[in-house]
Structure 1
């Protein structure tokens, strides 16, 4: 019985240490991903979609779009690929909701390209890559701050060089999304997607 108890204690300590290591590692990766700040050198920026409530961008998506708008004003030559399909509880595609928001806020339609079939970050980037003109392999990614590292890793795996615009994450969902993103980062590290 004593051996079993010692084994359980040591196993618990080992799991706790592994958990703390992975937490620190994914936190480090999340910080590193945000270091490649966009400076306008890339002609195309991919805005990654997020939840749409009916036809209205969620708060997280609005933060991404506001970051895209600010970047677009500072870099008027940049064209945006708005990437996101339609979930079962969304009345329109995320790409269409983003297009409407960007146009309502002054971005001309001729600067917008819609990618409206993706259902994951991997598909967002893969499908958007297919819309790039031949020879373009460097893009700017615009997404939530917690999400930049994984998005950049996926883009690298798909043969793209990236910099990024990191949109703030709404405080109301920050803890939940950051915790979930740590697991997604580990999955991306292991599978490439």
Structure 2
């Protein structure tokens, strides 16, 4: 009997926790909604930050990363940016940011526009380094729409003035999108821990 009651109590606590995390996610989406745009004024926000999203076994960009890079190319061709910060960590003998750089060069983007950050191993690290090392105070974040609320909120906590442009040029399976949204719930909680630790240093 006690075992059954304990399991029921545990299930209740788990459901409350899940509900709390879902509410956090909804609040985050509402909080950042006005900063997610499809187009921007070409005269403002002249620096873009492209967040990494992994590479394949053959060291080519994943479909998610290609999405971000293709959107970046489209915006550069519209004359939207002067500089692009490419952020991604080490991958075997190279780095994700170097692979991103090569992809953009192959698509006709001038090398002098591109800044490589090989130490941006997470969304938080990318934005922290953008603010402290590269002295970027204002920027456009280019990533998928599911990722933008967390990225924008983190940038704000780091005293950056940002907007986000969704890089949703490709279609993804519903199961993949659902998993990414679930992952974002837990990633936001972990990001808050890191931000608070950074603020206390």
* TM bin (shorter chain): 0.7 to 0.9
Question: Hey, what's the Cα distance between the residues in 2 that align with 1:24 and 1:33?
Answer: 14
Report whether the alignment pairs 1:166 with 2:166. Answer: yes
Q: What residue is the counterpart of 1:24 in the other structure?
A: 23
The alignment partner of 2:147 has SS state of helix
- Superposed CA deviations along residues 51-108 of structure 1, whole A, max 9, x for unmatched, are 11232100010011112112222234431011112134xx531111111111222221
Matches within 5 A, 1:49-128: 49-53=52-56, 54-88=58-92, 91-128=93-130
Question: Hey, what's the Cα distance between the residues in 1 that align with 2:27 and 2:171?
Answer: 21
- Runs of 4+ that moved beyond 4 A: 3-8
In structure 1, the gaps of 5 or more residues are none
Q: What residue is the counterpart of 2:14 in the other structure?
A: 15
Distance 1:118 1:190, change over 3 A: closer
Matches within 5 A, 1:172-187: 172=173, 173-187=176-190
Question: Hey, what's the Cα distance between the residues in 2 that align with 1:5 and 1:158?
Answer: 46
The alignment partner of 2:146 has SS state of helix
How far residue 5 of structure 1 moved from its aligned partner, in angstroms, is 4.8
Question: Hey, what's the Cα distance between the residues in 2 that align with 1:77 and 1:188?
Answer: 28
How far residue 138 of structure 1 moved from its aligned partner, in angstroms, is 1.1
Q: What residue is the counterpart of 1:143 in the other structure?
A: 143
- Determine which of 30, 48, 63 is the counterpart of 1:45: 48
The alignment partner of 1:47 has SS state of strand
Whether the 8 Å CA contact 2:46–2:80 is kept in 1: the answer is: no
How far residue 122 of structure 1 moved from its aligned partner, in angstroms, is 1.5
The alignment partner of 1:52 has SS state of coil
In structure 2, the gaps of 5 or more residues are 197-201
Q: Normalised by the size of structure 1, how large is the TM-score?
A: 0.83
Query: Aligned-residue CA RMSD in angstroms?
Result: 2.4
Question: Hey, what's the Cα distance between the residues in 2 that align with 1:34 and 1:72?
Answer: 24
The alignment partner of 2:34 has SS state of coil
Distance 1:32 1:95, change over 3 A: same
- Superposed CA deviations along residues 4-36 of structure 1, whole A, max 9, x for unmatched, are 755653553343133123213313413543431
Question: Hey, what's the Cα distance between the residues in 2 that align with 1:170 and 1:83?
Answer: 23
